[in-house]
Homo-oligomer: A and B are copies of this chain.
């Protein structure tokens, strides 16, 4: 498989434009009554037209049999091998609340919890306190300084928060303080490498200070932290692919992932129509656009087959605005499947279509899992999406003499 270094050598900037529409969780499983998936149930004349004019296939974003988390699924589509380029839990949590991480930061996921008088955990979630209460408590802890490290504490939802450590010399190779069980005391944070000793010291100091601060806030009288991770330093899409990329996404985590690979994040509204308006508005200023639609995945996670099909129809109905911009390359696919029948992410490959003036159309006549399985792209890994996108936009020179 060709690597980023080799792509970098042959990629060249051109005025041609690529739009990558990620319909999050698009792939599904057939409904037992109809034998049709959510996508096959939805009426999608515009997607069908694109599939007919383009080339199709099925993508294993991470690998056959592998159910991708949100980060690996997207990173693969962005051209980054998700087995090599990893984003830790704490960082994802921070990206998910639009927290502006900086290089050198380490982040961890936190829980407010309850301990008894002997220090044993009696409730890992402190009774799932209200989000407003969580914000109030975070405010008490936010802005602490321990030696030369700033502690930034932000609420997520209910008992969950994010803590970011900002300062010199911090490594994220740290064990969790959360024992993941009740009836035990919180654990000390242990450095997993010699260089992480400072970060471990700061983390344990933070936990001690939090305990002191929360002492009279029963039942929320302690914190548990886990998933320490550093903000990753990935090569930027502008360097590797010679693109000027922009992301249009209404959910924070996807904006955060887009930033990690160097996309400019554009302000947009929560609907596909708002996203397409944003695309039209900024169309002249960038040559690569990520459009991310989250609601399909949410319906799948809820196990709501009909709603998932309806949202797919809604996205399809909005597509003429995208098509009328006439991008050199349009790609429609997903980061993973979220079959309503499984109520969660799954390993099933995702349908994929690419339309360009220079693709060699295959015999696929509609956009569906079944039809895509007969497409000329066959079944292929997610990391091949970007080379195909660039090639079809005439942005790749010859490899080798």
Contact = CB atoms under 8 A, between A and B. Distances in A.
Interface of A: 1-3, 6, 10, 27-30, 37, 57-58, 62-72, 82-83, 86-89, 92, 227, 342, 345-349, 358, 360-363, 369-370, 373-380, 384, 386-392, 396-401
Contacts of A347: 387-388, 391, 396
A3 B63 CA distance: 11
A2 to B, nearest CB: 5
B400 A71 contact: yes
Number of identical monomers bound together in the oligomeric complex? 2
B66 A387 contact: yes
Contacts of A380: 64, 379
A399 B360 contact: no
A380 B380 CA distance: 10
B360 A67 contact: no
B66 A391 contact: yes
Contacts of A27: 360
Contacts of A361: 30
A293 to B, nearest CB: 21
Nearest to A109: B401
A79 B361 CA distance: 29
- What 10 A-B pairs come out closest when comparing CB atoms? A65-B387, A373-B376, A378-B379, A69-B400, A65-B391, A72-B400, A347-B391, A65-B388, A64-B384, A378-B378
Contact of A62 (B2, B63, B345, B401): B2
A384 B60 CA distance: 12
Given A2-B83, A360-B369, 14 more contacts: A2-B62, A28-B360, A29-B358, A57-B379, A62-B400, A64-B388, A65-B391, A65-B392, A66-B391, A82-B399, A342-B358, A348-B360, A362-B370, A374-B374
A67 B396 contact: yes
B2 A66 contact: yes
A133 B3 CA distance: 44
Which of A342, A377, A380 gathers most chain B CB within 10 Å?
Answer: A377
Contact of A69 (B348, B369, B376, B401): B401
B2 A396 contact: no
Contact of A65 (B390, B398, B400): B390
A111 to B, nearest CB: 16
Contact of A400 (B6, B86, B377): B86
Contacts of A400: 62, 68-72, 82, 86-87
Contact of A360 (B29, B70, B386): B29
A371 to B, nearest CB: 9
